[in-house]
Amino acid sequence: MSTKLTRRELAKIGLGLGAAAALGRSAFAQAPAFFRIGTGGTAGTYYPVGGLIANAVSNPPQLVLTAQASNGSVANVNSIVSGALESGFTQADVAYWAHTGTGLFEGKGKIEDLRLLANLYPESIHLVAAKSANIKSVADLKGKRVSMDEPGSGTLVDARIILSGWGLKETDVKADFLKPNQAAERMRDGGLDAFFFVGGYPTSAITELAATGGGIDLVPLAGPEADAIRKQYSFFAADDIPAGTYKDVGAVKTLAVGAQWVTSAKVPDAVVYEVVKGLWSDKTRAALDAGHAKGKMIRKENALAGAGIPVHPGAERFYKEAGLLKG
């Protein structure tokens, strides 16, 4: 039996199909976007700051951010490349080397898809020494037991640059490769003279060591040697760690690199736009100010400072709307 449909009935069917298609598109648009942030070791600064940002920016079910502990800068970049992470925190120097295929990434090819979400805060280079070791200068590390941080970390790269700046090679020290919390435990037990850590102050591993160990010194990274390092590597900046940051430790001059939040060009623009918009929201501002000493230093006006890699188009859209980038 055949049924003829009137023009009005056909129009109704067409409207119904159109509404269903629109509903489908809407449902697809509302599908949750998962956005992982690679941070660092649990004793460092990346991990707590990443947790604060993830909690504040998440807007489930549409947008879900999670912070994951990792081996730090280099490991995060590699995980972004492999697709194991959507984003991660990294030092400005590591991001630049990765994108240009130079420095640490020499001979490994350029990671041309690496993109900037935001510059976060300065990361101070800590050279922590046991008071009993009597280390007053980088030159005094010769023959000492020194942890350079673990393989894959940005700290290890910078530690080698610092040694070189004072005329030392890695073989001139008794090098170990431990995470900051492991290095602090080893020093507390008398098995280590010094260790390097790059991160925002105060960091819990050093705070606890200063309070419970036999006393620590922060070795200054200043003078002509530091000036020469800054001239050779433009991503380093002069920095100061204030007196009292760690128990019984006075003010010290050091060097710093920017902590940056990076992602891949493959992550959709719409997702990145929402993430960056969330980062600079009032809700996140309140969480950062209340949650960590370094949170207060994460400022929108510095979001593009020291950008050695291209800004992601989704982030670019937000920064143009905020007046931080010209259209």
Q: Do domains 33-121+259-322 and 123-258 have the same CATH topology?
A: yes
Q: Report pLDDT digits (tens) over 177-220.
A: 999 999 999 999 999 999 999 888 888 899 999 998 789 999 99
The first and second tokens of residue 135, run together, are 């280390």
Q: Report pLDDT digits (tens) over 80-137.
A: 999 999 999 999 989 999 999 988 898 999 999 999 999 999 889 999 999 999 999 9
**Predicted model pTM:** 0.71
For position 17, what pLDDT does the model report?
39
Q: Look at residue 25 and tell me whether its pLDDT is greater than 50.
A: no
CATH topology of domain 123-258: D-Maltodextrin-Binding Protein; domain 2 (3.40.190)
Q: Report pLDDT digits (tens) over 43-79.
A: 888 999 999 999 999 999 999 999 999 999 999 999 9
Q: Give the rounded distance of the alpha carbon of 48 from its chain centre.
A: 11
The first and second tokens of residue 277, run together, are 């918009």
Beta bridge partners of 12: none
**From the candidate CATH numbers 3.40.1350.10, 3.30.365.10, 3.40.190.10, 3.90.220.20, the one assigned to the domain spanning 33-121+259-322:** 3.40.190.10
- Torsion angles phi and psi, residue 250, rounded to 5: -75, 180
DSSP SS3 for 319: helix
Q: Look at residue 12 and tell me whether its pLDDT is greater than 50.
A: no
Residue 107's Cβ-count burial label (10 Å; 0-12, 13-18, 19+) is exposed
For position 30, what pLDDT does the model report?
57
Please enumerate in sequence order all residues whose Cβ is within 8 A of that of 295, keeping only pairs 6 or more positions apart, or say none.
49, 52, 287, 288, 289
- How many angstroms separate the CA atoms of 142 and 151, rounded? 21
Domain ranges across the chain: 33-121+259-322, 123-258
- How many angstroms separate the CA atoms of 55 and 169, rounded? 42
Instruction: Spell out the alpha helix ranges (H) of the chain.
Output: 7-29, 46-57, 73-82, 92-100, 154-165, 180-188, 204-212, 224-232, 269-279, 282-291, 313-321
CA distances from 186 to 172, 176, 179, 183, 213 (A): 20, 11, 10, 5, 10
